[in-house]
Amino acid sequence: MKNRMTPRENLGRRIEQFHGVSLEQVLGEIAYLRDAGDSVIAGGSLAYGLGNRLSDLDLLITGTATVESSRIPMQHFIDSLRVDVWKLSRALVEECFERAEQALGGEGAVEGSFGDIDHEDELKLLHRIAFGVVVDGGGLEDIGGRDYRAVASSLVVREYAERMRTSALLAQLAYRSGRSIAAVANARLAIESALNAVVVHRGLPFSGDKWLRDRLVNQTPDLASVYEPFRQLPENPARDASAFVDAALATCVEMWGMDLEIDALVSAANWRNTDLKLGEVGADRLLLSARFGALWGLDENEAAAWGRFAAGGAESPDAMWSLEECCEDGMPLCLRLHELGVLSLHWDKGVPIEGLHPMRTRGAPA
C-alpha cells in the first residue's frame, strides 16, 4: 500500500514515534526565534526519510523579514529530541545560492568552499532549502526563476567530482611512493565521492557521506554492488594496494567518464607551501615550519629536491608549483609534506559539470 502522507505528516509521525514530541511542540519551543512572515523548513536525515531515534532535527528559519541571522546552529532539547536551528535572512539564503551559481559557472575549483569533509555546512544548507520539508509558513517562493534544486544538486555533483579527482590523484601518488595505507584509503574515498555524486545527480537530496551505503541499498540498489568490493580496505595494503587502487579508479572512470590517469592529473595540480624553509645547521639539512613550530630533518636527496623547489621560488609566501615540476625524488617528498599538513594541493581548474559523463546503470532513471 502506498504511503499517502505528506512529507510534513511523515516527519511529524517519525518524531512523534521516536520522542513523543509533536511538530507543534517543536514550533512552540522555537517560536521566540521567529520573525513575522518567516518559514520553518526541516532538512537533514529525518526530513529525508533517513535518520533514527538519535538523529537531531535540523530546522531552518528564514523569511524576507528575518533578522539576526546566525550560521551557527542554536541547539534546543525537547524531551529526548535535539533540535538544531539555523536562522538566516532570505537575503543570506539568496546570497548563498548566488555564490553557488557563480562557482558553477566559474572555471576555478570549488575545493570545499561550500563545505569540506569535516564541515558540509553550506552544501547541506543549500539542500535543506531546496529539498526541505516546510513545517510552517509558505516556504520559499522562487525569486527570479531560480531553480534551487538544480543549483544545489549541481554544486554537490561538482564538489564530489572534484573530491574524486583529488582522491584519485593522491591514491596513485601514494601508491608510487610506497604509502600503501594512504593509497587504499584514498582509492576508497574516490569511489565514495563518485557514488555520492551519482546519488545526488539522480535527484536525491544531499545528506552527507554517512548515509551513502544505506542510500545505495535502499534508494539506488543498482549501485550497491558497485560499492561492495571497496567498502573494506585490503587486510594487507602493502601487498594489495596496486590491485585495489586500479580497480577503484577504473570504476570511477566508468561512473563519470573522467580521465583519472596520473599523467592527466599531475599536469593540472599544484603544491602550495605554507611557510616551509630549508635551514642548514652544520651538516644537517632541516625543513622548518615556524608557524607550526615544527622541524624535519632531510636526507641529502630530499634536501637537493627541496633546494630545486626553493630555487624556483617555492619558499615565497603562498608559493605554488606544478606537480609536473616534481621529479622522481621530489614527488615522494612533496607527498610526505602534504601528509604532514604543510603542503596543500590545489587545482588549476574545477571539474565542470558539462565535462562529466555519468553512466547509466541498471534500474537508474533515464
Binding site for other proteins (CB under 8 A): 51-55, 72, 75, 77, 82, 116-118, 166-167, 170, 174, 179, 181-182, 185-186, 188-189, 209-217, 231-233, 235, 292-294, 338-342, 344-345
Closer residue to other proteins, CB minimum distance, 164 or 305: 164
Closer residue to other proteins, CB minimum distance, 148 or 227: 227
Q: How far is the CB of 205 from other proteins (least distance, A)?
A: 16
Q: How far is the CB of 292 from other proteins (least distance, A)?
A: 5
Closer residue to other proteins, CB minimum distance, 101 or 121: 121
Q: How far is the CB of 46 from other proteins (least distance, A)?
A: 11
The answer to whether 223 and 195 have CB atoms below 8 angstroms apart is: yes
State how far the Cα of 194 lies from the Cα of 252, in Å rounded to an integer. 6
Closer residue to other proteins, CB minimum distance, 127 or 188: 188
Q: How far is the CB of 228 from other proteins (least distance, A)?
A: 9
Cell numbers linked to 159:
564538489
Q: How far is the CB of 186 from other proteins (least distance, A)?
A: 6
State how far the Cα of 83 lies from the Cα of 30, in Å rounded to an integer. 9
Q: How far is the CB of 184 from other proteins (least distance, A)?
A: 9
Closer residue to other proteins, CB minimum distance, 185 or 252: 185
Closer residue to other proteins, CB minimum distance, 99 or 213: 213
Q: How far is the CB of 55 from other proteins (least distance, A)?
A: 6
Closer residue to other proteins, CB minimum distance, 93 or 335: 335
Strand 277-281 relative to strand 81-89, pairing: unpaired
